[in-house]
């Protein structure tokens, strides 16, 4: 019976992670970040049921498995998304990247129309520009974030998404308007603050405050078509991103894990859209960064 109770509880949490409160160590956000991996509970419960020779417990493991398949089964199915209007690439290139030019060449292999970068050091900008400019001749760099574009850019400027306790030298957001063939697109490139997993749980106050600031800017933006490209330091399902996600459409059913690069367990890099549709997400091959690049088809 205890195994059945655990299986039932797991099924409820997988299906309704919003029921888990954040009051203790941001536990709800932590579960939402790694929710796709909840499927690993199924073989664990099966092993325990087998050890205890519990047929009812073994049958009970079908509950969380069924709920997981409802939530994530579509991620495993092939889909024909057609030819996208745009291809967008997002990459936290790492401020310790030893070969920016090679990283830029890897990004160009995806055939992007827009490329958003984070952790771009001033001394690395010429290396990125030398590779990206011939294919994407318009770019803007604001602080440590940058945007390269196939289309002319206007209104390029930094946006203030700083948490209240950080100084003016913390500049990790920009906005520009891309003059795309089918109409203007407001493009935000953002790098939200990192989170820390401690003995007391997940610390995400700065990230969440930055997300609220970015969400307010997006909500008020007058350009109907809009993209958010960035390292948001959490998955799209994390309630900490609700100020952003409520103004954008849900991402498609693709795992496309990007972090950490050596063995990705989560997609903390995001490409989100308003009044457009992200039809496909895919993680690109590893570069010299600790993140993998993310490519999106936009329809």
pLDDT at res. 201: 65
Q: Which of 133, 135, 149 is nearest to 229 (CA)?
A: 149
Distance CA 54, CA 31 (A): 28
Which tens digits make up the pLDDT trace of 77-124? 887 777 899 999 999 999 999 999 999 999 999 999 999 999 999 999
Distance CA 245, CA 96 (A): 30
Which tens digits make up the pLDDT trace of 137-157? 999 999 999 999 999 999 999
In a domain, 81, yes or no: no
Q: Say how many domains are in the chain.
A: 2
Does 50 score more than 90 pLDDT? Answer: no
Range of the domain at 244: 86-298
Domain final residue pick, 76, 98, 118: 76
If one counts every other C-beta atom within 10 angstroms of the C-beta of residue 248, the result is 22
Portion of the chain with pLDDT greater than 70, in percent: 98
Please tell me the total number of residues recorded for the chain in this structure: 299
Do both 178 and 148 map to the same domain? Answer: yes
Do both 24 and 128 map to the same domain? Answer: no
């Amino acid at each position: 019976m205890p195994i059945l109770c655990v299986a039932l509880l797991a099924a409820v949490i997988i299906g309704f992670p919003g029921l888990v409160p954040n009051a203790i160590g941001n536990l709800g956000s932590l579960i939402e970040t790694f929710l796709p991996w909840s499927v690993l509970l199924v073989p664990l419960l099966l092993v325990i049921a087998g050890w205890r020779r519990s047929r009812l417990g073994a049958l009970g493991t079908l509950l969380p498995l069924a709920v997981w398949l409802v939530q994530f089964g579509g991620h495993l199915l092939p889909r024909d998304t057609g030819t996208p209007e745009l291809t967008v690439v997002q990459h936290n290139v790492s401020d310790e990247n030893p070969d920016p030019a090679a990283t830029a060449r890897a990004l160009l292999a995806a055939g992007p129309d827009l490329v958003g970068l984070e952790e771009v050091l001033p001394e690395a900008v010429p290396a990125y520009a030398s590779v990206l400019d011939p294919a994407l001749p318009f770019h803007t760099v604001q602080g440590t974030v940058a945007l390269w574009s196939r289309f002319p850019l206007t209104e390029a400027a930094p946006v203030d998404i700083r948490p209240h306790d950080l100084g003016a030298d913390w500049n990790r957001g920009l906005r520009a308007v891309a003059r795309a063939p089918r109409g203007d697109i407001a493009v935000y490139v953002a790098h939200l603050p990192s989170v820390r997993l401690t003995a007391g749980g997940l610390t995400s106050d700065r990230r969440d405050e930055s997300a609220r600031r970015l969400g307010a800017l997006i909500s008020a933006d007058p350009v109907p078509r809009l993209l958010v490209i960035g390292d948001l330091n959490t998955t799209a399902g994390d309630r900490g991103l609700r100020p952003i996600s409520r103004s954008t459409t849900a991402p498609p059913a693709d795992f496309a894990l990007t972090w950490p690069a050596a063995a990705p367990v989560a997609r903390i890099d995001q490409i989100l859209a308003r009044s457009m549709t992200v039809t496909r997400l895919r993680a690109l091959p590893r570069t010299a960064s600790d993140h993998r690049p993310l490519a999106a088809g936009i329809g």
